[in-house]
Structure 1
Amino acid sequence: MSKSDVKKSLDVANKSAQDQIDTLKAQLEQLLKDRINPALLDVAERADNAVANAREIKDVQLHNAEARVRARPIAAVLISAVIGFIAGRVSK
């Protein structure tokens, strides 16, 4: 085999490998575009909804706790004192 034949064979192999890489790259880009990106967007939207729901629940619970404390301030103070006493005893 001559030097030019080897060079031609290497060029053909290089071209074939580059074509395969380009094909795989195009397939990967298409996969990302068609499958992965929409799935990630859906997950992000669900996460945003979950965070919004959690904030709403937190706000409602906070409002309920404030309403209970305002309705019965003496009971709230006594309950807080008992919880503080128990926490103090447990932490020793």
Structure 2
Amino acid sequence: MIVHIAAGDLEAARAIWHERQLWHAGKSFPPGTRADRWRLQLAAVAEPLMAGDRPALAKILHDWEAANVRGTELEPYWEPTPFPLER
């Protein structure tokens, strides 16, 4: 789903969102598990994905990207670049 969002294919991302949301709806998962990470990602992108809000989706992806690099040895070399979604 995230790859489709980054690539700008929002229809494909929506299809995956709907499929995964049905499985996750109304359930709780132990923190840090794969299922819990999916639940958090689904919740984070739900509104802008359904609205087709590309700038909001790009901000979410850039925030996630920065969070993954922050504090690592790659951080001094990392430079954010636009996703195809933004072109």
TM-score of the two chains, using structure 1 as the length reference? 0.24
Report 1 or 2 for greater relative contact order, CA contacts < 8 Å, sequence distance ≥ 6.
2
More helix by share: 1
TM-score (norm 2): 0.25
